[in-house]
Structures are given as C-alpha cells and as structure tokens.
Amino acid sequence: MSKKELGPQPLLFPNPSVLVGTVVDGRPNFATYAWCGITGGEPPTISVGIRHGRYTLKGILQNMEFSVNIPSADLMKETDYCGIYSGAKTDKVKDCGFEVLYGGLASAPLIEQCPVNLECEVLHILNLGSHAMVVGKIVQAHVSEECLTDGEPDIMKIKPLIYSRGPTARYNAVGEVLGQCFSIGKELKK
Amino acid sequence: MSKKELGPQPLLFPNPSVLVGTVVDGRPNFATYAWCGITGGEPPTISVGIRHGRYTLKGILQNMEFSVNIPSADLMKETDYCGIYSGAKTDKVKDCGFEVLYGGLASAPLIEQCPVNLECEVLHILNLGSHAMVVGKIVQAHVSEECLTDGEPDIMKIKPLIYSRGPTARYNAVGEVLGQCFSIGKELKK
C-alpha cells in the first residue's frame, strides 16, 4: 500500500478515553485524557500524559495520588464535558452529577457511575516537553459487579469509549469480538 | 452500581494492539504489545511496557530505536503470532510474510502491510519492576493513503485491533462512531 509521511505525530489507534481524578485545593476534580497506557504488570503501573499547567497536574503535584476512571459509552457527554472545561473555573462534579467515592487513598476520588476505577500513587513524573508523563502505581482496582464475567472485567459489558483523532476527533464504541489472544496466531505455526 | 475490589491490577479499556519493531543482532523483529500509550504531544512521544529479558528489549538497548506498527484487523493472526513466539527462536518476518521497509531510522523496521507506522528514538527507559517502560520520541509517522480522509488518518479505515483482558483475552474491532469530541459535551453546559 502506498504510504504518506505525515511528520512527527502522536498517532496511536485506539486510544482510551478516561477520567483522571484528583483532589485540587481540597476539592475533587475530573478531567478527560486519551494519552494513557499501562506501563507494567508487577506492580501494575499506568501512565498519563498531562499538559503542563493543567489543573489536574496541580492536584497530582499537591497529593501525589490520582485515580483513573473508565466511563461507559453512556457517559460520553460527561466525559467530553470534562475534556472541554477546566476545574479551575467550574465544579465538574456538580455539573456532571458525579457521585464521588473514595477507596484507600484520600486524594484519589472515584466516580461511582464509571464501571472501572483505579486508585494510583505517583511513582514518577517525567518532563517530556509540552507534557508531563505521570506514572502511577495502581494500588486498587474497583469494577462494577455487573461488568464482570466469571469474576473478570468484560469489555463488552464495560462498553468503554475510544478516542480517535481524525478529520474530526470522535468517540467510537468497542466493536465485536474478532478472536482469542494467544491462540488464533498458532494457526500460522509451521 | 455495586463495585468489587479486584486488588492491584493493570485494568485499562481499551488497549491498543501494536507490533513493536526492532533490529536485534542485525535482524528485524516484531513483537506484539498492548501496554502502549501516547505520553506527550510536542514532541510526540509514546511509551511501551516491555518485560525484562524480552528479545525486543534487547534490540532497543542495542540501537535505542524502535518502531510502532498498527495492524489492521485483517492482520489479527500475524499480530497474535508475534505475541506468542519469540524472535530468539524463529524469524517472525518470514513466518508472517511481512514486507519490511525502513524510513529515516536504520534500526526502526516498518511493516508495509500495517496502515500506520511510527519511527521512534528512545528518550527514556524506566525500570518499573517486572517491566521496563520505554519512552520513544516519534520522529516520523507513515500512514497508508487509503486510510486517510481529508489528509488525516481515519480509524474507520485503519480498523485497528483492541486487546482486552477478560475471562479470556480477546481482540475486538473498533465499533461505530458515537459522537464528536470537544463538542457533544457542550450540551451539558448550563
């Protein structure tokens, strides 16, 4: 296939769309991030790329804790809202009707309506230019019981949002199951 | 909704499923990773969590360059194959019939059949326990012309694979467009 060079661009498909929770000046706040990925397994760790100066980064630096909340597609408007407006200017918890819970960490607020919540302690913050990469250790995962199958979180029940750049930035749903990992590739084994 | 604590677990939905390309002992190799995320925008950066001892990490340490290749769903078997078998024991390029190209970096092999290829220079490697988190600066992005809409990469044409943990680990397709980012949330504005 004919390829076009687009220059240095942060192109990854798919990206998740998560609500990062922090406590800023004593108040819970949530902001939407797509630049997020698991970075290790033992201990489980996760990274979020946050632009310098953001209200969320202020909260992380104040408390060195944060949460990652995975919204279902039925929270698309709230998720988008938390990506447009700053907690410095409005109370997004109130605006979105979020019910806020806490687990073991005092500064990692969790959104009750999100089917998956991760409590994180900051391990590293790297300055990567425009963004700080915050690496957190996941100390607890909370999952809605209705989103479990045989005790494991099931993406078809969680129904997370995909964030996609493109001609216009869009949210996509997760589609059908295509195959089983660590299995279907064995068909190519000579 | 009633929540269950699952303990410290690396739960993120969705994860991508990418083929990380390296040159190891002078030979191109590709391995599959889901623990990958964009970490910053200027410059564009990306992280991959790689277990210590992996052949891919050997190649990265040899050359401090790598590629991220995003396979379409029609490469699911090849993608899974590259996640099961080690390049230390088999020639995955040959096994999978990959056509290997190079851009500007001599040690960032690109898979022609993948619609998106990123060339990366290593910026940081952090030891996170079981895994090394490799952060790369994206120096060039190549996208198949047939996957562009108005000059921008279009996820509906790229058709990337989603990797999901669960009762059994599975690949999912990307589903329908649900809404426009930085727009649909404005409906909640009072």
Least confident of A127-131, B31-35, B63-67, B164-168: B164-168
Q: Which of A37, A95, A160 sits opposite B37 (nearest CB)?
A: A37
Other C-beta atoms closer than 10 Å to the C-beta of A1 total 11
Q: Collect all residues of chain B within an 8 Å Cβ-Cβ radius of residue A182.
A: 80, 83-84, 169
For residue A63, CA distances in Å to A23, A29, A50 come to: 7, 13, 16
Q: What is the mean pLDDT of residues B136-163?
A: 97
Q: Are A17 and A171 in contact (CB under 8 A)?
A: yes
Other C-beta atoms closer than 10 Å to the C-beta of A180 total 14
Dist CA B98 CA B101 (whole Å): 9
Extended beta strands in chain A, E state: 3-7, 15-16, 18-24, 27-33, 36-41, 44-51, 65-70, 100-101, 110-111, 116-127, 131-144, 148-149, 152-153, 162-164, 170-180
Q: Given this model, what pLDDT does residue A168 score? A: 85
Residue A38 to residue B16, Cβ atoms within 8 A: no
Interface ipTM? 0.97
Q: Does A122 touch chain B (CB under 8 A)?
A: no
Dist CA A19 CA B164 (whole Å): 19
Q: Which residue of A has its CA nearest to B3?
A: A144
Q: Across all residues in chain A, what is the average pLDDT? A: 97
Pinpoint the alpha helices (H) of chain A.
55-63, 76-84, 92-96, 155-158
Q: Given this model, what pLDDT does residue B168 score? A: 85
The answer, yes or no, to whether residue B166 has pLDDT greater than 80, is no
Q: What is the mean pLDDT of residues B180-185?
A: 96
For residue B59, CA distances in Å to B20, B50, B83 come to: 11, 12, 16
Segment B23-56, tens digit of pLDDT: 999 999 999 999 999 999 999 999 999 999 999 9
Least Cα separation, residue B53 to chain A (angstroms): 14
Dist CA A165 CA B184 (whole Å): 15
In the block, tokens 């930035």 appear at: A169
Which tokens sit at B181? 């980012």
Q: Collect all residues of chain A within an 8 Å Cβ-Cβ radius of residue B114.
A: none
The answer, yes or no, to whether residue B174 has pLDDT greater than 80, is yes
Least Cα separation, residue B26 to chain A (angstroms): 24
Residue B115 to residue A1, Cβ atoms within 8 A: yes
Dist CA B69 CA B142 (whole Å): 9
Residue A171 to residue B165, Cβ atoms within 8 A: no
CA count, 13 A, side-chain hemisphere, B182: 6
Q: Which residues of chain A have pLDDT under 70?
A: none
Q: Collect all residues of chain A within an 8 Å Cβ-Cβ radius of residue B169.
A: 180-182
Q: Given this model, what pLDDT does residue B167 score? A: 76
Helix/strand/coil for A155: helix
CA count, 13 A, side-chain hemisphere, A35: 25
Least Cα separation, residue B75 to chain A (angstroms): 10
Dist CA A64 CA B34 (whole Å): 26
Segment B86-131, tens digit of pLDDT: 999 999 999 999 999 999 999 999 999 999 999 999 999 999 999 9
Sign of the alpha-carbon torsion through B16, A70, A56, A138: negative
Residue A12 to residue B38, Cβ atoms within 8 A: yes
